[in-house]
Chains A and B, each alone.
Chain A
Amino acid sequence: MRFTRTSKALGIVAAATLALTGCGAGGGGSTDGASKAAGDPNKVITAYSNEPQNPLLPANTNEVYGGRVVNLLFEGLRSYDANGKAVNALADSIESSDAQNWTIKVKQGQKFTNGEAITAKTFVNSWNFAANSKNLQNNGFFFESIAGYDDVSAVTKSTDASGKSTSTPAPKADTMSGLAATDDSTITVKLAQPEADWSLRLGYSAFYPLPSAALADPKTYGENPVGNGPYKFEKQGSWVHDQSISLVKNADYNGTRPAKNGGVTFKFYTDPGPAYTDLQSDNLDITDVLPSNALKTYVNDFPDRNATKAVATNSTLNIPGYNPNFQGEAGKLRRQALSYAINREEIAKVVFNGTRTPAKAYAPPVIDGFKEGIKGSEVLKFDAAKAKDLWAQAEKIQPYDNSKPLQIASNTDGGNKEWIDAVANGFKHNLGIQAEIQPFAKFAEVLNLRKSQQLPGLTRAGWQGDYPSLYNFLGPVWATGASSNYEKYSNPEFDKLLKEGLAAKSTDEANAKFNQAQEILFQDLPGLPLWDQARPIVWSNNVVKAETGWNGEILYYGITAK
């Protein structure tokens, strides 16, 4: 018995060194275990993490390891509950009659842990700081909808002799004209154009309030941040670089996310393998990153101590518009044929071990407003005969250039090769064309080629929701000129529907428009939706219960310890 367990576990860890994993996912088989005890409210939880990439400033933190710390240190105007529903936190009310002019009432008497009061002015200053191009905040563009953002975020572009252009920050104003604090408790916001779901953004970290010390010296502040959230730094220098960050409960916190434990210590691991071993010996309390081979075994290794929940992350297979094989009427038929030729159900089951679910639309089901059965979404069903038929129709219009294999570009770490091989085989068998992976060692290489429009074939793409909104899965990825629309897809009709959705009076009305916009995507198929992700987590014997939020981040404040 013991022997089998050893050899099995050994396999897991050994394989973990071979594959650098990203996040995996699991479907079903999750049980919370009957939690009878309320838990020890003073015990400190140790959690898997890694070195944050930036000083801990909310508006500068756009990666998961810094993000999870920032989210515990701060409380914004709103916060997201476990299901991704935005609820008011520091905001008493957020109102708008025309989706363009917003009035936000800020709760009074709130303080940072250093005693500094939080007023409407605090938010206005923080947001102006974050949006200012001079301050080089990674999340600056989250304020792009506010009137006057263009002036505050202005840059000058210069082109050198070799034609390479460089942007240098050159703000034309220090404050956004559309943003004002009329008194201590009121923020008024004027957006450049109506945006019905704008208030959904307000729970995102970029919108957190900052104390004045942060604005004066962001870099120093980012080493020992002072916030207003459920946790605070244990002491100055709690962030031991490359090793750990220790947070303790903020006793003065009275918001929507009260800490049910005494603190959280994030231990840094460069590889998920050792963390998994630590969890097996109760040397670590919780992880949300499993070594890729543990995806097959974690349910058995941690019976009653695992949970898997769908998260707001999806994957697509993008087809660049500049590829002559996929242009015009024939191209449209071929895109459909490719989509029909992918057996999403089987790949999700066999390759991902049931840890991903076949996509049903351009946004995952966990997002509010998600609709199944959008017109045109039948292309997501595997249908070999239909695929063949469509391909044959396209051949009649314009013959396909089969001289070179159809390449699918991807970085090969993180277990991408397996599913791409499966997809390529589907193309080969069902369409009779040559197809293969175009492997890259690093994600950055693919990204470079995507940006410069040089990929010869298809490419893998993924999107993780910034905040739980349907628009967030469509606008930044598929709108004309959008920041992450690397394949430069453009359809004025789609843009128009998005705009109409943003201008809608209610979220329901807006979501109806966004789903209508997806019909256009299903006609054009600039990318083929592949699957949506779930996030498995496992915990040690010291933990009673844990769960993840809408975006897959563990709700650390809700963890109860034995």
Chain B
Amino acid sequence: MLRFILRRLLQVIPVFIGTTLLVYYMVFALPGDPIAALFGDRQPPQAVIDTLRSQYNLDQPFWVQYGLFLKNLFTFNLGNDFTGQPIAASLARVFPVTAMLAIEALAIQAIFGVLFGVFAGLRRGGWFDSTVLVASLVVIAVPTFVLGFVFQLVFGVQLGWAKPTVGANANWATLLLPAVVLGLVSFAYVLRLTRASVSENMNADYVRTATAKGLSRPRVVLAHILRNSLIPVVTYLGANLGSLMGGAIVTEGIFNVPGVGNKLYQAVLRSEGPTIVSIVSVLVLVFVVANLLVDLLYAWLDPRIRYDQ
């Protein structure tokens, strides 16, 4: 078990270097001078531009820039972004906000997705099943930004149940609306996965055995059907946590959430290599840890799975 975890953690190193190198290179290859772009038609004295450029190592060749970035990263000094703010401080500001949003969205899709999926799967072909199937299809078909705008207008502007944007006061309550929008599409997938898995396991031999032994219906459903049906769902949810953290650019934009997505979007607009790569680095870690957790959960769900050979 411990060896398994260690091995997985060691895999982080090549993944980390590969992704940061790739992203750093892509930012580097963007055309245009990012420092000149900060100023528009009214350029400051050339000495200001040149000093900024050397301050951000933009006058160095790619490998030197990347090397300096890695060096800074490992000495826990992420440097400043183009507005002169320490990158570490802005990461510390945006990640908690997005983490709240992602956890809320994940909770919504996990709880409601599994609940609805089990009910639909148990009564396959029933009215509940058919309704939920059609509804989830609609949710999957509608792009997130459309859902976002509709929810914002209906619940935020017209009904006034929630503030239409989050802004400076990000907390569990204000983030609920964007979390619902963010979680809705994956909710539909979780529901469909659970439903398919449950209805398949319903006909399995061990379920018939359990019922024949005289176990109560709730026990059969919870301990036997559900537990065995959760493996694909957990895999999906784990992979989803990473994309919820990093892929919320559209939702964060619509609801003006001061999180990772918005920060990343602005950094890309400004071609701020160090900020982009710092955010991506943290996201890589989130992905790796989430996947590790998923793998560990397998063993709990299905004791036949072993990690050490």
Selecting from B39-47, B126-134, B209-217, B297-305, the interface stretch reads B39-47
Main secondary structure of the interface of A (DSSP, over half): mixed
Residue of A nearest to B48 (CB): A136
Residues of B4-32 whose CB lies within 8 A of A: 30-32
Q: How far is the CB of B192 from chain A (nearest CB, A)?
A: 27
Bound complex: CA A342 to CA B256 (Å): 40
Flag whether A405 is at the interface (Cβ < 8 A). Answer: no
> B110 at interface (Cβ–Cβ under 8 A)?
no
Given A138-B44, A167-B46, residue A283 in contact with residue B149 (CB < 8 A):
no
With most chain B CB atoms within 10 A of its CB, the pick from A14, A55, A270 is A270
Which of A9, A136, A242, A464 has the largest number of chain B CB atoms within 10 A? A242
- In angstroms, Cα B151 to Cα A314, docked, is 39
Contacts of B163 in A (CB 8 A): 281, 283
Greatest chain B CB density within 10 A among A13, A133, A241 is at: A241
- Whether A153 pairs with B45 at a CB distance below 8 angstroms is yes
Chain A 200-244: CB-based contact to B (< 8 A → 1; otherwise 0): 000000000000000000010000000000000000000011111
Known contacts A6-B158, A139-B44, A242 near B93 by CB under 8 Å: yes
Residues of B within 8 A of A17 (CB): 145, 250, 253-254
User: Do A274 and B44 contact each other (CB < 8 Å), given the known contacts A54-B83, A242-B93, A444-B32?
Assistant: no
Question: Which chain B positions have C-beta within 8 A of A389?
Answer: none
Query: Out of B158, B168, B265, which one reaches A270, CB within 8 Å?
Result: B265
- Are B37 and A442 in contact, CB atoms less than 8 angstroms apart? yes
| B-chain residues with CB within 8 Å of residue A370 when the two chains form the complex | none
Q: Are B145 and A243 within 8 A (Cβ)?
A: no
Asked if A495 is at the interface (CB within 8 A of a chain B CB), the reply is no
The answer to the question of A558 belonging to the interface, with a C-beta cut-off of 8 Å to chain B, is no
Closest CB in chain B relative to A537 CB, distance in Å: 19
A-side contacts of B149, CB under 8 Å: 10, 13-14
Q: Which of A141, A167, A278, A462 sits near B50, CB closer than 8 Å? A: A167
Cα–Cα, bound, A273→B45 (Å): 34
A291–B187 Cα gap in the complex (Å)? 31
Determine if B258 and A277 form an interchain contact, defined as CB atoms under 8 angstroms apart. no
Interface assignment of A53: CB less than 8 Å from any CB of chain B? yes
Convert A245-263 into 0s and 1s, putting 1 for each residue whose CB lies closer than 8 angstroms to a CB of B. Answer: 0000000000000000000
**Partner of B37 from A55, A153, A443 at Cβ < 8 Å:** A443
- Give the distance in Å from the alpha carbon of A168 to the alpha carbon of B49 in the complex: 10
Closest Cβ–Cβ distance, residue B40 to chain A (whole Å): 7
For residue A455, give the distance in angstroms from its CB to the closest CB of chain B. 14
CB <8 Å contact, B266 and A274: no
The docked-state distance in angstroms from the alpha carbon of A52 to that of B82 is: 11
Output the least CB separation between B124 and chain A (Å). 37
Among A138, A271, A275, A451, the residue within 8 A (CB) of B48 is A138
Chain A 51-96 interface residues, beta-carbon cutoff 8 Å to B: 51-55, 62-63
Which residues of B lie under 8 Å from residue A167 when comparing CB positions? Answer: 45-47, 50
Q: Does A300 contact B (CB under 8 A)?
A: no
Q: Nearest Cβ in chain B — how far from A290, in angstroms? A: 16
- Chain A residues lying within 8 Å of B243, measured Cβ to Cβ, are none
Q: Which B residues are CB-close (under 8 A) to A464? A: 41-42
A276 to nearest B CB, angstroms? 10
Interface centre among B47, B50, B54, by most A CB within 10 Å?
B47
**A32 proximal to B (CB < 8 A):** no
Q: Is B145 a contact partner of A133 (Cβ separation < 8 A)? A: no
* Residues of A in contact with B, size category: 35 or more
A181 interface residue per 8 A CB criterion = no
Contact check, B41 vs A444: say whether CB atoms are below 8 A apart.
no
A484 close to B (CB within 8 Å): yes
Q: How far is the CA of A169 from the CA of B45 in the complex (A)?
A: 10
Question: A144-176 CB contact bits vs B (8 Å, 1 = yes)?
Answer: 000000000101000000001011110000000
Across the interface, which residues of A come within 8 angstroms of B168, CB to CB? Answer: 240, 243-244, 267-268
**Chain A proximity mask over B251-262: 1 for CB below 8 Å, otherwise 0:** 001111010001
Q: Which of A51, A153, A440, A451 has the most CB of B within 10 A?
A: A51
| CB atoms of A448 and B36 under 8 A apart | yes
Contact, CB under 8 Å: A462 / B41: yes
- B122 interface residue (CB < 8 Å to A): no
- By a CB distance below 8 angstroms, the chain B residues around A277 are 152-153, 156-157, 164-165
For the complex formed, measure the closest distance between the CB of B157 and the CB atoms of chain A, giving whole angstroms: 5
Collect the chain B residues with CB atoms within 8 Å of residue A240's CB: 168
Chain-A contact segment, one of B65-73, B84-92, B218-226, B280-288:
B84-92
- A463 contacts which chain B residues (CB < 8 A)? 41
Contact yes or no, B32 A448, CB < 8 A = yes
CA distance in complex: A461, B42 (Å)? 11
Min CB distance, A548 to chain B, in Å?
A: 20
On whether the beta carbons of B43 and A484 are closer than 8 Å, the reply is: yes
A2 at the interface (CB under 8 A from B): yes
Contacts of B146 in A (CB 8 A): 14
Q: Which chain B residue lies CB-closest to A462?
A: B41
**A281-B160 contact given A139-B44, A243-B168, CB 8 Å threshold:** yes
- State whether the Cβ of A323 lies closer than 8 Å to any Cβ in chain B: no
Q: Any chain A CB within 8 A of the CB of B200?
A: no
Smallest Cβ distance from A532 to chain B, in angstroms?
15
A242→B153 contact, CB < 8 A: no
Does B47 contact A483, Cβ atoms closer than 8 Å? no
Contact A242–B258 (Cβ < 8 Å): yes
Instruction: Tell me, rounded to whole Å, the shortest Cβ–Cβ distance linking B97 to chain A.
Output: 10
* Chain A residue contacts of B44, Cβ below 8 A: 62, 137-141
List chain A residues, Cβ under 8 A from B165: 269, 274-275, 277-278, 283
**A345, CB-defined interface residue at 8 Å:** no
Q: A443-B40, A466-B42 are in contact. Are A168 and B51 (CB under 8 A)?
A: yes
Q: Could you tell me if B157 and A442 are in contact, using CB atoms closer than 8 angstroms? A: no
A281 touches B156 (CB 8 A): yes
Task: Specify which chain B residues have a CB less than 8 angstroms from the CB of A168 in the assembled complex.
Answer: 47, 50-51
Query: Is the CB–CB distance between B164 and A281 below 8 Å?
Result: yes
Q: Does A177 contact B (CB under 8 A)?
A: no
Q: How far is the CB of B32 from chain A (nearest CB, A)?
A: 3
Report the bound CA distance from A542 to B57 in whole Å. 48
Report Cα–Cα, A422/B35, bound state, in Å: 32
The answer to whether the Cβ of A19 comes within 8 Å of any Cβ in the partner chain is no
Alpha-carbon distance between A275 and B152 when the two chains are bound, in angstroms: 12
**Which among A137, A155, A440, A463 has the greatest number of chain B C-beta atoms within 10 A?**
A155
Of the listed residues A55, A281, A444, A476, the one surrounded by the most CB atoms of chain B closer than 10 A to its CB is A444
B153 and A6: CB pair below 8 A? yes
Q: Does A448 lie within 8 Å of B265, measured CB to CB?
A: no
Nearest-neighbour CB distance to chain A for B29, whole angstroms, equals: 13
Asked if B34 is at the interface of the complex by the 8 Å CB criterion, the answer is yes
A267 to B169, CA, bound (A): 11
Q: Report the separation of the CA atoms of residues A54 and B81 in the bound assembly, to the nearest whole angstrom.
A: 10
- Cβ contacts B50-78/A at 8 Å (1 or 0 each): 11101000010000000000000000000
Contacts of B40 in A (CB 8 A): 63, 443
**Is A52 touching B83 in the complex (CB atoms < 8 A)?**
yes
The answer to the question of A280 belonging to the interface, with a C-beta cut-off of 8 Å to chain B, is: yes
Say yes or no for B94: interface residue by CB 8 A criterion: yes
A55 partner residues in chain B, CB cutoff 8 A: 84
Q: Could you list 14 examples of A-B contacts with CB < 8 Å?
A: A9-B153, A14-B149, A17-B254, A54-B84, A63-B39, A268-B258, A270-B262, A277-B164, A440-B32, A442-B271, A444-B31, A447-B36, A448-B33, A484-B41
Q: A168-B47, A278-B256, A440-B32 are in contact. List 20 more A-B contacts (CB 8 A).
A: A54-B84, A55-B84, A62-B44, A138-B39, A138-B45, A138-B48, A140-B48, A169-B47, A241-B85, A243-B167, A267-B168, A271-B253, A274-B254, A275-B165, A277-B165, A283-B163, A443-B40, A444-B36, A447-B36, A461-B41
Closest 10 interchain pairs by CB?
Answer: A444-B37, A444-B32, A138-B44, A445-B32, A243-B168, A274-B256, A167-B47, A155-B47, A281-B157, A244-B168
